[in-house]
Structure formats: structure tokens, C-alpha cells
Amino acid sequence: MSLNTLEEIAQYIVSDGKGILAADESNPTCGKRFDSIGVESTESNRRDYREMLFRSSGMKDNIGGVILFDETIRQNAQDGTPLVDLIKNQGALPGIKVDKGLAPLESSPEETLTQGLDGLDERCKEYLTLGAKFTKWRAVIKISDDIPTDGCIQANMEALAKYAKIVQDNNMVPMVEPEVLMDGNHSIEKCYEITSKSLKMLFKCLKDEGVNIGGTILKPNMVTSGSIAESQASIQKVAEMTVQCLKENVPSDLPGITFLSGGQSDVNATAHLDAMNKIGGFSWKLSFSYGRALQQPSLKAWLGKEENITKAQEALSHRAIMNKLAANGAWNLDLE
Ligand code: 13P
């Protein structure tokens, strides 16, 4: 498959049920993950961990793209091979997180606006030379009693659209991530309402900016109950409401929707994806762009020890295989 156009790149990443490994944790976030296994977050430990992931045999055929953090796209493996080349050798495309994280929103300081439009064009030009084929920008929408405000949704979706346009002008595929957080005790209906509102605004802004939808990937949350809500929606209900919300708001020429896992357990994230693909009836590929739900079992097996590398790689491979099955609606719990 040639990968000359934005459309071809986007389609390749999600071809045949492949998905994305999100390994773009910032250094502070990586530090939190390493704290949980008692490993110090040094540059070389972060490199060793990511090298271990990218050399896993299950990357091949199951992972179409890997999102990296700025530090990682510049790092070499222990034998001197650029980590970007390890990814390409597995048949996956390197991607890069280009936003600069969250800052309080002026008009409503308990909410956030994602930063990073300043200098984005220059950063894109450099990342392209470093091998990046796609990029990611994450906007965060929080649900609580009086939030999100309309201003927060609008400001974040406008920024996502401006980002996407700049990235496409630099010949990379923008992944747009409007994450409605699971945190809270809200109902699944509330999550539906806010996710729907955010997606509507996002696609309006993308259109206004002249973004090519056929060369864009959407990375949304699933429609779920709040993480501490007393009543938790079933797998089937999450799948049905998520598919309905996407059908209502996402244009049919978008090539791929790759979900974030957002704090779901690894098996739940797979089960939800599988249930949605079993429902079917949509034109986009419905796949995964998981961070924690792909990496967690591998991180726990690794523990920073060389002798655990094989076990840790098997754990990542297993999750990658399970999620590709789910992206084809061909997974079941017995396979776990
Ligand atoms: P999780 O799947 O752990 O939510 O991470 C995905 C991601 O890239 C968040 O921006």
C-alpha cells in the first residue's frame, strides 16, 4: 500500500482491524506509571521500557501506529537503532503528541484549555523530518455539577480544528482527541449528552477550518457511566450508546475512530470495542488507541527487570492481539 496521501496514511493505520499503541506519556505521567512498579523515571529507563514494547512480536499485524512523546521520537535503542525504526520495522507508523498539555481556562478556571498552537507549525516541520506520519492533540472535558461550560467545549474544539489544519498543511494526519473524562458519579446519559455536544462542535469547527476529514482520525472516549457512579452501565449498553452517539455526530467519510481507554480495565476496553463492532452498521473503522489498556499488564510484568522482558512483551502482544480481534468483532472472553 502506498502511503503518499493523508487518506492513505489514515486508512493504513486502521487497516484490517489494526489499532494504535498510545505510548506518548509525558515524563511526569510516565513517572506516575513507573512509581506504581517502583522504577525510577530516568531517561534511560523510559527508553528501555519503550524499546521493550516496540520490540514485542505482537506489534506486527496488530498495531498500525504508535504515538510517541517528544523525548522518545529522538531516542535510540540500546544497540543504536532509532526507536522510530523499530516501530517501522514492525509495520507501524510513528506518530507524535504535539499539544503542550492543559492550562486553566480563563473564563472557568476549574476547566482546562489545551495549549500548544504557538510554534506548532515549526514543531510539525521538525517531527516530519524525524519520521512522524501522524500527530495527536488531546482536549479534556470534565463533567461535574456546573461543568462543562459551553465556552470550554467551544474553545477546546476550535483549538483542535486549528491544530488539525496546521498538521495537514504539513502533510501529517491529525488525530483529534476530545476526551470527556470518566471521572465522576454522572450517569451514562449525561456522558452521552456531553460527548454528543462536543463531537457536534468539533466537526463544525473542523469544517469551518477546512480540515480534510478523509485524512483525519478521531480519538474519542466511549460513552460510559462516571467511574464512581453507583449504577454502572453494562458492556452492551456502553456499546449501543457509543455507536449511536458516533452515528449521530461523525461524518461517514472519516476513515477511522480509535478509542482512548481512559481508565477502563484492559479487558473491559476490549469487550466494549468488540461489542460495538458486533453491532456494526457504520462506515468508519472502529478500533483502539489505548495507552493504559494496552500497556498495564506489560508494565506490571516488566518491573524494570531485564529478566522479565519476554514476559512483559508477551503481555503486550496478548493485548494487541485481543484488541485486533475486538476491532473485527471476533473477540470473546474465553480467548483471554
Ligand atoms: P489511555 O488509553 O490510557 O486513556 O491513553 C490514551 C491516550 O493517549 C490519552 O491521551
The closest of 32, 44, 54 to 75, measured between CA atoms, is 44
The β-bridge partners of 94 are 66
pTM of the model: 0.97
Q: Which of 134, 266, 292 to mutate to test the pocket of ligand 1 (most atoms within 8 A of CB)?
A: 292
Residue among 217, 213, 228 nearest 178 (CA): 217
3-state DSSP call for residue 228?
A: coil
Whether residue 53 has pLDDT greater than 80: yes
**What confidence tens digit (pLDDT) does each residue in 223-269 have?**
999 999 999 999 999 999 999 999 999 999 999 999 999 999 999 99
Q: Which amino acid is at 326?
A: A
* Alpha-carbon gap, residue 10 to 317, rounded angstroms: 23
Tell me the angle at which helices 309-327 and 266-279 cross, rounded to the nearest 10 degrees.
20
Q: Residue 95 has which C-alpha cell?
A: 506518530
Question: Which residue's alpha carbon is at the smallest distance from atom 8 of ligand 1?
Answer: 22
All three cell numbers of 187, joined, read 450517569
Average pLDDT, the chain: 98
Q: Residue 43, Cα to own-chain centre: how many angstroms?
A: 23
Nearest CA to ligand 1 atom 9: 260
| pLDDT top residue among 2 and 170 | 170
What is the predicted pLDDT for the residue at 34?
98
Q: Separation of 261 CA from ligand 1 center, angstroms?
A: 6
CATH superfamily of 6-335: Aldolase class I (3.20.20.70)
How does pLDDT run across 178-235, given as a tens digit for each residue?
Answer: 999 999 999 999 999 999 999 999 999 999 999 999 999 999 999 999 999 999 999 9
Cis omega (within 30 of 0) for bond into 109: no
Tell me the CA–centroid distance for residue 146 and ligand 1, in Å: 25
pLDDT above 90 for 289:
yes
In 248-332, at which residue ranges do the beta strands (DSSP E only) sit?
A: 256-259, 285-290
Q: What is the Cα–Cα distance from 141 to 144, expressed in whole angstroms?
A: 10
pLDDT in tens, 70-119: 999 999 999 999 999 999 999 999 999 999 999 999 999 999 999 999 99
Best of 141, 179, 261, 287 for a ligand 1 pocket test (most atoms within 8 Å of beta carbon): 261
pLDDT at 1 over 80: no
Q: What is the pLDDT of residues 120-170, one digit of tens each?
A: 999 999 999 999 999 999 999 999 999 999 999 999 999 999 999 999 999
- The Cα-based distances of 266 to 68, 75, 161, 303, 322 in angstroms read 20, 28, 30, 18, 10
In terms of Cα–Cα distance, which of 145, 192, 172 is closest to 67? 172
Determine the Cα–Cα distance for residues 171 and 173; give it in Å rounded to an integer. Answer: 7
The C-alpha cell 461489542 sits at 275
**Residue 2 in this model has a pLDDT that exceeds 90:** no
* Ligand 1 pocket by Cβ (under 6 Å): 22, 24, 138, 177, 260-262, 290-293
